[in-house]
Amino acid sequence: MWLSWLSRSLVLLVAIAQVRADADFMSVRTSLAKDYSGKGGDPGEKYFHESTFHHHYDGRFASNTLPESESAPYLSALIQTYLSTMSDIGAETWIMHGTLLAWWWNQKIFPWDSDLDVQISEPTIHFLAEYYNMTEHHFNLPGVEGGRTYLLEINPHYVVRTTADWRNVIDARWIDTSSGLFIDITAVRKDDDRRRAGRKGAMMCKDKHRYEENDIWPLRESLFEGVSVKIPYEYTKLLQEEYGSKSMTQTSFEGHKFNEDTKIWDRIRGNKHLSRLRGRSLDELPSRTSPLEHRLS
Amino acid sequence: MATLLRDHDNMDVSSDSGSEDGFYPRSSSFHLSQYSRPLIDFVKNEWQTNSKYHYHSASSSPSNTSDAPRWVQITLSLIAAPRFRRYVLVYVILLISCWACWKQVLSPRLEEHAALISSLDVHTKDQVGGWFGTNALPQFDDLVKIRTLDPSLLPSDTKATSGPSQRRLIVVGDVHGCKAELVKLLEKVSFNPNNGDHLIFTGDMINKGPDSLGVVDLARKYSASCVRGNHEDRVLLLRHEMYAANTLTADDASSAVDSKEEFLSTDYQERKLARQLTHDQAKWLDTCPVILKVGQIPDMGQVVVVHAGIVPGVPLEKQDPASVMNMRTIDLDTHVPSSSKSGMPWTKLFNKHQSLLYSDLKESDPDAKASTTTVIYGHDASSSLNLKTYTKGLDSRCVKGGKLTAMVIGDGGESSTVSVKCRNYMDG
């Protein structure tokens, strides 16, 4: 009874909000009976919502966080499937922020971090919005029965090119519909204001990060979580600017210590170092089962 | 000398304007002294000029009669003496120059020395939580990290007994496509590959200047060695990207070959060059390693050629390749290198590190020099030719109208630098 009421009121809400909010719960729901998206508390203009239980989960697809020991393989598959999909499409994407720092240390996701950040260029988001918005991508994963389905969702506010639109700084999401974990995708755009002031090559994101063309391009090819990844050209400079020099040298972070022999972040509990065992070996990668129809180049 | 000075004193007195000797400061001292010296000093007769009276008059001066205590009188008369004032002036100048020398030269040097020593101290490492180079070094595709030079190309360990060196290494700084200057330089060092000379480039052979392709062809013709500079790095990365995206053969004239090239605005020149390179030229540039291990050279220890620099204390295998091609300065706490021009030049920390290593080993190892490393590099045009004990910077701004420099290393490790003037290709 209350469910139908919820669905009816949601449909109504969507009808009013038009594209001002993310795809509504009922149209994308997988198994949940209740919407945990947290959109109730957000202003109407905000498209993507962080769940009521954790800001790195999409509440339309999960009601709770995964235990830390289990989230690592989910995150790993999440970035692997995203990177391989973008590479197959020919859409240029690269890692940034905390994910770039994690790559710097050992080319693996930080064990304490459930946040993944990637960037794309403005022409690429136009292409993705045109051909791939709300597309589902199914992958077979080693040891996961039935595989997992990932959703690429574009924030319609991507056409708004100003930092004044502070509620919609994330331009797209790659969402694991089985766990609610997602990757934040932000577009890097020409910074018209700074260019008018004579700064040739000035770039910006809606989250107010500013870059120079030559700091990001040409991109370098490397590996992250065992798959091909693109890295901004001046990666040490970008990391130094964003996190300071110590981010690349300090061997203890967030209750973890970097083991210089194994090159793995070990969890420190009391005085004991607990070696993290990664459940899966890296040569078993997710494989795509759903076809891709459009390619960018 | 003493009498001469005294004569000058007396001229003060006899001259009424002080301008006849053309020495204005004295004339002003004269005017001042008018108020502080007793009137008797102005008497113009022999009593003044003859030294035997002079001393007497000073000690038992008529100012005794005034009310002031005797020590004040003496102090006043001392200050009043022109010679004293001149000396005060000299001492003040001396003091100021000593202070300036301390402030400008000695103190910063001592501070820098202390900062470098503390930066290399292992206790600092614990304090700051770690140094650069502890991470698992990322893999990069299409990039050769380290190569070792064929040992048969090295100059012999002992000096040639007669005549010129049998084998020489000619290491050339950033050419940037200045082929004419490169040819001139090779003529000047009488480069002869058939006679045991081997050519090595410190990177940035291409881009900016007039004939990048010509420089690459010349290097290939002489089977030269090279390292990857930031300009090779950018151009080759672009070329690989274009190859993968199938836009390599696009016509130069139609600049908007795809949305990406329309989107990016600053790399037009690099894209053009990336397209101009032939497959063989690009393949040859791709083989240039980030680090070239030259080998042992007498008096220089282990010689390494890189484009920009090396982080001290980190093994060559663990050097971050992008930093090796781009660094100029280094953070003293964490040893994180940076391409920024402001900060401590990496060469200072590297030289200090090597000289500490050398003085540590010197006691126990008779061949301590062999355990040190000398880095030959380019990249830093702003500090131009920069030769230090363990670092040899060869970029002398050729493409901007400076010079093109080669370091010639002959038998027995004898080295010298030779340069030729360059045209300025960066105007307009």
pLDDT above 70 for B66:
no
Q: What is the pLDDT of residues A23-33, one digit of tens each?
A: 777 778 777 76
Please indicate, yes or no, if residue A58 is contained in any of the structural domains: yes
Mean pLDDT for chain B overall: 85
Same domain, B53 and B170: no
Please tell me the predicted confidence (pLDDT) of residue B1. Answer: 40
Please indicate, yes or no, if residue A3 is contained in any of the structural domains: no
Could you give the 3-state DSSP secondary structure of residue B323?
helix
Domain count, chain A: 1
> Which residue in chain A has the smallest CA separation from B259?
A123
Which has more confidence, A229 or A277?
A: A229
> What phi and psi values does residue A270 have, to the nearest 5 degrees?
65, -125
pLDDT above 50 for B60:
no
Q: What is the 3-state secondary structure (H, E, C) of A221-290?
A: EEEECCEEEEECCCHHHHHHHHHCHHHHCCCEECCEEEECCCCEEEEEECCEEECCCCCCCCCCCCEECC
Alpha-carbon gap: A197 to the closest alpha carbon of chain B (Å) = 16
Q: What is the pLDDT of residues B378-405, one digit of tens each?
A: 999 888 899 999 999 999 999 999 999 9
pLDDT above 60 for B243:
yes
Please tell me the predicted confidence (pLDDT) of residue B250. Answer: 61
> Chain B contacts of A103, Cβ < 8 Å?
138
Please indicate, yes or no, if residue A152 is contained in any of the structural domains: yes
DSSP state of B103: I
Alpha-carbon gap: B28 to the closest alpha carbon of chain A (Å) = 57
Alpha-carbon gap: B235 to the closest alpha carbon of chain A (Å) = 8
Domain count, chain B: 2
pLDDT above 50 for B366:
yes
If interface means Cβ-Cβ distance under 8 Å, which residues of chain B face chain A?
Answer: 128-132, 134-136, 138-142, 234, 237-238, 240-241, 245-247, 258-260, 262-267, 270, 320, 322-323, 326, 331, 333-339
Q: Decide if A263 touches B, using CB distance below 8 A.
A: yes
Please indicate, yes or no, if residue A193 is contained in any of the structural domains: yes
Question: Domain range holding B16?
Answer: 2-80
> Chain A contacts of B135, Cβ < 8 Å?
104-106, 248, 258, 263
Same domain, B44 and B157: no
Q: A105 and B339: CB-CB below 8 Å?
A: no
B132, B138, B334: residue with CB nearest A107? B138
Q: Decide if A219 touches B, using CB distance below 8 A.
A: yes
Is residue B381 within 8 Å of B174, Cβ to Cβ? yes
Same domain, B61 and B163: no
Closest CA to A296 of B215, B382, B227, B260: B260
Same domain, B33 and B175: no
H/E element holding B135? none
Same domain, B191 and B44: no
Q: How far apart are CA B72 and CA B264, in angstroms?
A: 82
Please indicate, yes or no, if residue B251 is contained in any of the structural domains: no
Q: What is the pLDDT of residues A127-140, one digit of tens each?
A: 999 999 999 999 99
Q: B138 and A123: CB-CB below 8 Å?
A: no
Alpha-carbon gap: A225 to the closest alpha carbon of chain B (Å) = 12
B263, B266, B322: residue with CB nearest A214? B266
The pairing of beta strand B146-148 with beta strand B391-393: unpaired
Please indicate, yes or no, if residue A112 is contained in any of the structural domains: yes
Closest CA to B228 of B308, B293, B171: B308
Alpha-carbon gap: A227 to the closest alpha carbon of chain B (Å) = 12
**Most confidently modeled of A198-212, B7-21, B41-55?**
A198-212
Give B85's pLDDT tier (boundaries 50, 70, 90). confident
Closest CA to A238 of A213, A256, A270: A213
Q: A105 and B136: CB-CB below 8 Å?
A: yes
CB within 8 Å of A259: residues ≥ 6 apart: A265, A266, A273, A275
DSSP state string for A128-143: HHHHTTTEEEEEEETT
B136, B238, B262: residue with CB nearest A218? B238
Q: A245 and B265: CB-CB below 8 Å?
A: no
Give B419's pLDDT tier (boundaries 50, 70, 90). very high
Give B227's pLDDT tier (boundaries 50, 70, 90). very high
Q: What is the pLDDT of residues A45-92, one digit of tens each?
A: 778 877 777 778 887 888 888 887 788 899 999 999 999 999 999 999
Please indicate, yes or no, if residue A80 is contained in any of the structural domains: yes
Please indicate, yes or no, if residue A255 is contained in any of the structural domains: no
Please tell me the predicted confidence (pLDDT) of residue B384. Answer: 84
pLDDT above 50 for A13:
no
Residue of B126, B135, B241 for testing the chain A interface, max A β-carbons within 10 Å: B135
Same domain, B299 and B390: yes
Strand partners, B417: B407
Q: What is the pLDDT of residues B245-266, one digit of tens each?
A: 888 876 544 444 556 777 887 7
Q: How far apart are CA A8 and CA A15, in angstroms?
A: 11
Q: A123 and B131: CB-CB below 8 Å?
A: no
Mean pLDDT for chain A overall: 84
> Chain B contacts of A123, Cβ < 8 Å?
259-260, 262-263
pLDDT above 70 for B344:
yes
Write out residues 81-140 of A within 8 Å (CB-CB) of B: 90, 92, 103-107, 121-123
Please tell me the predicted confidence (pLDDT) of residue A37. Answer: 77
Alpha-carbon gap: A122 to the closest alpha carbon of chain B (Å) = 8
Same domain, B171 and B311: yes
Q: A260 and B338: CB-CB below 8 Å?
A: no
Q: Among A269-273, B42-46, B145-149, B235-239, name the one with the lowest average pLDDT.
A: A269-273
Reported residue count of chain A is 297
Give A14's pLDDT tier (boundaries 50, 70, 90). very low
* Alpha-carbon distance values, B222 to A269, B192, B196, B219, B339 (Å): 61, 9, 11, 5, 32
Q: A245 and B129: CB-CB below 8 Å?
A: no
Q: Decide if A211 touches B, using CB distance below 8 A.
A: no
> Which residue in chain A has the smallest CA separation from B274?
A218
Q: A240 and B260: CB-CB below 8 Å?
A: no
We report the CATH number of the domain holding residue B417 as: 3.60.21.10
Q: Average pLDDT of B163-183?
A: 92
Alpha-carbon gap: A31 to the closest alpha carbon of chain B (Å) = 40
Alpha-carbon gap: B297 to the closest alpha carbon of chain A (Å) = 33
> Which residue in chain A has the smallest CA separation from B262?
A123
Alpha-carbon gap: A152 to the closest alpha carbon of chain B (Å) = 22
Buried b (16+ CB within 10 A) or exposed e, B266-278: ebeebbebbbebe
DSSP state string for B160-175: -SSSS-SSEEEEE---
Please indicate, yes or no, if residue B342 is contained in any of the structural domains: yes
Give B54's pLDDT tier (boundaries 50, 70, 90). low
Please indicate, yes or no, if residue A295 is contained in any of the structural domains: no
Please indicate, yes or no, if residue B405 is contained in any of the structural domains: yes
State which amino acid sits at residue B74.
I
Please indicate, yes or no, if residue B29 is contained in any of the structural domains: yes
Q: A104 and B140: CB-CB below 8 Å?
A: no
Q: What is the pLDDT of residues A161-185, one digit of tens each?
A: 887 777 888 999 999 999 999 999 9
Q: How far apart are CA A164 and CA B262, in angstroms?
A: 26
Question: Domain range holding A102?
Answer: 22-250
Residue of A199, A236, A252 for testing the chain B interface, max B β-carbons within 10 Å: A236
